[in-house]
Structure 1
Amino acid sequence: MTNMEREVRDIVIMGTGPAGYTAAIYTGRSNLKPLIIEGLQPGGQLMITTEIENFPGFPEGIRGPELMSKMREQAAKFGAEFLAGSVTEVDLSRSPFSLQLEDGRELFTHALIVATGACAKWLGIESEDRYRGKGVSACATCDGFFFRDSKVFVIGGGDTAMEEALYLTKFASEVVLVHRREEFRSSKIMSLRVQKNPKIRMLLNEVVDEILGDGMQVTGIRLKNVKTGELVEHSCDGVFLAIGHSPNTALFKGQLDLDDYGYIKTKKSSSETSVAGVFACGDVQDFNYRQAVTAVGTGCMAAVDTERFLETIR
């Protein structure tokens, strides 16, 4: 296909969490016919979230997958197209932008909205990799069912760790929450819920030194006290990591301005990135709030900013 024959889209959206779906709804309603590349986890992190209690409009709460399904349906209603798969390479050095897909196809677009989100962080120790899927997990809603009447450890001190610990009490006989500090980063309401739950015990000023096992399954964990250096082994059946997330921005290194943690930098009160025509929304650029409702807000911003940009180049 020659340059004259190639199809150039007005807008491509990378990612399908609440930010990507919202951007698709708004750009679809503007008759921009957005193409959404769904990525490795269509629907984003909310697909592994059981109950969402704080999303406006759902006083009784709503399951994450159900909310994402409704958003996807709404985007499709307004003309959004969906493409399964992932982007393996991008070229943002010239317009139209080029996107290389994993199946070898190449897409071109005048505007790009990046809503690729973030993924769970891991400790980075060898035993964690060895027992991943054999007692080590980063998703309580995915794997909690397998730990009925078991003792499990949750590592972390933010809202995610609290949510994981509370969820696991539905299955486990005991949940031990381990945090490297004395103060939690979580919201007060989440901290209080954890403290009041009789199934949850806390170990503070502790970090993971090693995850123990018999070669087939986790059998325990060795913790190190950050103040005394003392090492103590505890028996357990599972270890759940809830220590934060890393933005999915590897494709954009050297092409978009990123902060020290790898999040895409956007201009103040805008979704604009360092490259004209490229916009970012959701967890890929939000290291502070990381909520579904804020992702929706930035998805709207990206859509409006994109529409205004396209008007300037027509």
Structure 2
Amino acid sequence: MGKLFGTDGIRARVGDFPLDVDTVRAVGYLLARYFLEKLNRPPRFLIGRDTRESGPWIEKAFREGAVIAGATCESVGVITTPGVAFLTQNFDFDAGVVVSASHNPFYDNGIKIFSSSGKKLDDEIERYVEEQILSGFKISPAEALDVRASVDPAYYEAYLDHLVRTFDHLKLDDLKLVIDCANGAASLLASQLFSHFGCQVKLINADPNGRNINENCGSLHIDNLREEVLKVDADIGIAFDGDADRAIFVDEKGETVDGDGVLYVLSDFLRQQGRLKNGIVVATVMSNIGLELALERRGLKLVRVAVGDKYVLDELLRTGSDLGG
């Protein structure tokens, strides 16, 4: 057995440690027990997932363990990772759990856990769960409960409403978009969201079957998106990954606009509006010198952190900055 948590939670081949039923159940139990001891009351967890065929049984195993330890679990069903983070923070959950392996193939899966503030789980909690699991902690099958979950659509609707209200000022009536949903969590949300802004939207790879998530599509495979943008004469193409926590953009010529390009455009827009606190943009060590020099010409500073969105967020909070990626 190796390390349990990586930079983005637990991730592995489905059925292998640590994504076997017993270990997932134990993770749910230990997380609930930790919060029960810290809060001195039963914790509330929200669970969401992407479209992988393994998602339902992984969610069920996690829920079983958590309920045995005294937690209350509610399910939002298929939703994006940012959706779980938002709902966890705004509906008073003690933790939010996402069953997803992001951009990986369907035969991988994972567990991401958010704190009540919508941030990634504290290292202290990860260490507690990891030490217990790696020392052999198990829940006997006899202890497992037959826990059946019903999905509450109110949470999904609340997140969609939040997105619409947040970007209500956008006027996209004259734009034509192509959106690659990676046969993942954005497959329904993208259509419902962008229809509010008046733009023409063509969805591709928005028909998940449990096994086609990220299969030759999405943010790691954008050739089809490029072709479709040129074919329909679209203004922009957007490719999400399986849990829609990342996006790649394509312009009207089919050229990729990478993360550095997106950060530059957003930073300049915010700078012109006086909304970029401290003149700081936070990025990872993967960002290149070109972005740094371009920002310097605008009087802005690039701060680099280790790879992982939790490190970007930590630096944003530490410096009181507004933009990172």
User: Given the two structures, how large is their TM-score scaled by the length of structure 2?
Assistant: 0.24
- Whichever structure has more helix as a proportion of its residues is 2
- Return the index of the structure with the highest Cα Rg: 1
User: Given the two structures, how large is their TM-score scaled by the length of structure 1?
Assistant: 0.24
- Whichever structure has more strand as a proportion of its residues is 1
